[in-house]
Amino acid sequence: MIAIDLITEEIPPLKHTDTGETALLWMEEFKVNHLSVLKGDCFVGLVSEDDLLDKSDLTQTLDELFIHLPRSYAKDSSHIYEVLSIASIDRLSVIPVLDVEENYLGNISVAKLMQNIAATGSIKEAGGIIVLEMSDTDYSLTHISQIIESENAKILSSFITSKPTSKKLELTLKINQLELGRVIRALERYDFHVKASFQRDSYHDDLKDRYDELMNYLNI
């Protein structure tokens, strides 16, 4: 999935002639902390609630309040993970989407972004989770997949976390089985360190409940 597929029509952009008061009212209405600002059809930048609250006279236009605005955005062809990275690094609640010529196409809300990531990350699928800790030189997803598949299990999704100062990494695997004992023993036979696992029978029901709660919250 790419950025252009994630655009929502529910959050309109501001005009550069709108006032700070208008911007804050819209942020409250749409439950976001950022809004795109346009001058004609051109993307000017993003205005944030924090920046507005620092201003003393919100009856002024955005042009008058700000000499320039930060121009964080995603390209229309950016992968969903790139969009997530932009939102995380810049701590955005709204991500503008521009085409190759930097024409404004629309906004992505973080709520919709999280809904799509949850759907693509196999969260709703039944299964257990295994967390492996290893040296970065020992990482081979192909080898790990072969071990897991030898126990008639499959990897539904995976992601890696690591610290810049460490040569260790953690590999989190979602497996299509709730009972992980055989898979864990197979991995340990190949000297993989299983740092944690989540495989209780109640795990899936609890995870599904949490997923449903998140989706209900995001749909408010």
| Domain's final residue, options 65, 96, 118 | 118
Same-domain check for residues 97 and 132: no
User: What pLDDT, on the 0 to 100 scale, is given for residue 4?
Assistant: 94
Q: Which helix (H) or strand (E) holds 210?
A: helix 201-218
Average pLDDT, the chain: 88
Over residues 84-135, the pLDDT tens digits come to 889 999 999 999 999 999 899 999 999 888 888 777 656 667 788 999 999 9
CB atoms closer than 10 angstroms to residue 114: 16
Please give the residue range of the domain that contains residue 161: 128-216
First to last CA, the chain: 24
User: What pLDDT, on the 0 to 100 scale, is given for residue 202?
Assistant: 45
CB atoms closer than 10 angstroms to residue 193: 13
Q: What is the pTM of this model?
A: 0.67
Over residues 25-61, the pLDDT tens digits come to 999 999 999 999 999 889 999 999 999 999 999 999 9
User: Is residue 102, in this structure, part of any structural domain at all?
Assistant: yes
Closest among 59, 35, 69 to 49, alpha carbons compared:
35
Same-domain check for residues 28 and 113: yes
| Overall domain count for the chain | 2
User: What pLDDT, on the 0 to 100 scale, is given for residue 217?
Assistant: 56
Same-domain check for residues 11 and 106: yes
Tell me, what CATH number does 169's domain have? 3.30.2130.10
Q: Which residue has the tokens 């029978």?
A: 201
Same-domain check for residues 164 and 86: no
Pick 128 or 209 by higher pLDDT. Answer: 128
CB atoms closer than 10 angstroms to residue 211: 14
- Strand segments, DSSP code E, in 29-150 are 34-39, 42-48, 74-75, 94-98, 104-109, 128-135
User: What pLDDT, on the 0 to 100 scale, is given for residue 98?
Assistant: 96
Range 191-211 average pLDDT: 68
User: What pLDDT, on the 0 to 100 scale, is given for residue 215?
Assistant: 60
User: Is residue 123, in this structure, part of any structural domain at all?
Assistant: no
CB atoms closer than 10 angstroms to residue 163: 9
d(CA 138, CA 136): 5
Tell me, what CATH number does 104's domain have? 3.10.580.10
User: What pLDDT, on the 0 to 100 scale, is given for residue 36?
Assistant: 97
User: Is residue 44, in this structure, part of any structural domain at all?
Assistant: yes
Same-domain check for residues 106 and 142: no
| Domain's final residue, options 91, 118, 145 | 118
User: What pLDDT, on the 0 to 100 scale, is given for residue 203?
Assistant: 46
Q: Which residue has the tokens 């696992």?
A: 197
Over residues 135-184, the pLDDT tens digits come to 988 899 999 999 999 999 999 888 888 877 888 899 999 999 988 999 99
| Domain's final residue, options 84, 118, 152 | 118
